[in-house]
Amino acid sequence: MYNYDRRIAAEPGGSAEFMEKLKGYLSIGDRQISMRNQHGIGGSDAVYVNFVNLPKGHGGGAESENNRASFWIRGFDKADEHAAPPTGKVKVEMSNSALYSGEGAPSRETRVIMRAKTGTPDQVAKYLADFLNNVVKKIPPRYTHSNPK
């Protein structure tokens, strides 16, 4: 009989280990990031990542919102944050983006977006980290409510 549970072949680790892998791949300097398991009905099957393209100590309120991008990584085990994903794969999707590239007023054409990707937790962690590392290199903070030091 075929077993649909692919955890046996999946890489070890669940959502808690995914967050540690992501932190290890990040090279964002003093930019702000937070991650958490999203606990819903039945457990924590998703990780929420909130990134603010401002140095730590800057922003707050509207200024942080004007420099923010958030992401959902779904597909982890609902019962155990240390268990491998049931299918062996997870999916990352950008939830929202207030990041813009180029000169002039922010517009739909200049919004920085990330395409969704499905893969192993390690592949997805590298993909998201590469995206955020690239944002930090290429997109300067937009100071909309304060002046940088």
Structural domain containing residue 123 = 6-100+109-138
Specify if 19 maps to a domain: yes
Tally the domains of the chain. 1
- Whether residue 147 lies inside any domain: the answer is no
Q: What is the pLDDT of residues 3-35, one digit of tens each?
A: 555 545 556 789 999 999 999 999 999 999 999
Examine residue 146 and state whether it is found in any structural domain, yes or no: no
Kindly give the parts of the chain with pLDDT less than 50: 7
Task: Tell me whether residue 49 is in a domain.
Answer: yes
39 found inside a domain: yes
**CA 142 from chain center: how many Å?**
20
Looking at residue 130, its pLDDT comes to 98
Give the three-class secondary structure for 92: strand
Q: What is the pLDDT of residues 35-46, one digit of tens each?
A: 999 877 666 689
Residue 21 falls within a domain, yes or no? yes
Identify the pLDDT of residue 44: 62
pTM metric for this prediction = 0.87
Find the length of the chain.
Answer: 149
- Helices 121-138 and 15-25 meet at what angle, rounded to 10? 40
In-domain check, residue 144: no
Evaluate whether residue 45 is within a structural domain: yes
Whole-number pLDDT of residue 5: 55
User: 68-74 and 117-119 as β-strands: parallel, antiparallel, unpaired?
Assistant: unpaired
What pLDDT is attached to residue 23? 97
